[in-house]
Amino acid sequence: MINIVVVSHSAQLARGVEELARQMMRGDGCKLALAAGIDDAEQPIGTDALKVMAAIESVSDGTGILVLMDLGSALLSAETALELLAPELAAKVVLCSAPLVEGTLAAVVAANSGGGLEQVLAEAQGALQIKQVQLGEGKPAATALELPLTAGKSLSWKIQNPHGLHARPAARLAEVLAPFDAELVLENHGQCASPLSLNQLALLQIHQGDTIRLIANGPQADAALAAFKALAEQHFGETVTEQQQPSLHGMPVVESVSSGPIWQALSFWPQMNLRKVGAGDVLHEQQRLRIALQRTLSDLNKLAERTATLVGKVQAAIFGAHSILLDDPDLQQAAYTRIAQEHCSAEQAWQRELEQVAAGYRALDDEYLQAREQDVRDILRRTLSHLQQQPIPPLILRAPSILVMDELMPSDVVMLDRRMVLGICLSGGSALSHAAILAKAMGIPMVVGMHGCMSKTRSGQKARLDAARGVLQLSH
């Protein structure tokens, strides 16, 4: 067990930190002691090394003790206390430079979940990063988890808590999942984190309406998923009433409020000019398809490079996955065989093969994998555009506007000029699609599933997009 000591110049401040921390603690996973203020009624602000020593001794039964401090002289008092302690006890103590409030909360959650001293220290020291990332002053740590594509079982849950998975329910989740012998990953809009870390959970920015997915692999994976389901059905320890659940017009992807004119557009698909294919045209059609696939692969490589530059290598992997699918020799051979056997055009053969792949994704039970069907159609559209020699036109907004469309492909999103896009409203789509994931990474407010947004809006119309609630308010 790792115990925590809070050293502060102000007893009132320390009690406030303790009050917050106690809300994160359940059971006896760790102990929390305070050493705050000095015994002077007229000048109570200060720190006392003897108080710090006594606080450490009061939690000496822990295998490790983490000490967090507020101001510089608190560090001096803590260092003096270490010199006064018995050597065997002082050896178990680590002084931590983390911010007092954020660091204490993160440390308490990690300790209460059974983390070791090194893990608790790392959680405390990483606590400030949450606020920095949310304010745009930093980037998530390079150690962020990658989404497992094959291993493990998973369970999805749509968050109904009015304030999302904030600190208190996140701490409850970490505590419940900590005992299980399983590798655990929590996914939200394609971003992944350890559900045992309060810091990583906060960086996922899980809001009401988000669909999260717990992926578990290992001896106790089933038990972990069952515990997750039971906790989720209890709304992670919070009370959720029907009155607290707003009636959304769409599913939010990125929270923000923006106002401006609407710019409406329809998703592009090449016009199909099909012709009959004779036996003598088979080789020609196969060659047409081969060239189109090569050009599509080249496009995907360029999209990956652009994404890596604009957003990051993690998001660029989306188009790397597109390339892997496109370059599948079995898939390509199936299309070439279809051309030869059915005497159909390259367009027809490739479309039928990819539609089968997309249908396979749609038939899956997992919502995240269902959303991958859009990636297949994005590849299909690009290949057909090369076959028909109809380049995909970029979406160019002439002024900052709210983009309203029926559908937006991942390759469309990454080509947008972020400065011109105040927000995105789609009549269809999925919050788990790669288009949504890219929009979130680019910081573009987005709402999907806003039925009727195409028929009830017009270009140039003034509007206000409250993406946090999934509402588009129109002016008359």
Q: Which residues are catalytic?
A: 9, 166, 434
Tokens 């919050």 -> residue: 431
DSSP one-letter string for 345-396 = -HHHHHHHHHHHHHHHHHTSS-HHHHTTHHHHHHHHHHHHHHHTT-PPPP--
> Measured between alpha carbons, how far is 26 from 401 in angstroms, rounded to an integer?
48
Which three-class secondary structure state does DSSP give residue 201? Answer: helix
Which three-class secondary structure state does DSSP give residue 32? Answer: strand
Amino acid of residue 80: T
Amino acid of residue 405: M
Please report the sign of the dihedral spanned by the C-alpha atoms of residue 159, residue 164, residue 169, residue 174. positive
Amino acid of residue 217: N
Q: Which two tokens stand for residue 207?
A: 């809001």
* Contact residues for 298 (Cβ-Cβ < 8 A; gap 6+): none
Which three-class secondary structure state does DSSP give residue 187? Answer: strand
Q: Of 279, 255, 210, give the one whose Cα is nearest residue 430.
A: 210
> Measured between alpha carbons, how far is 378 from 6 in angstroms, rounded to an integer?
54
With residue 465 as reference, give the H or E element that holds it: strand 462-466
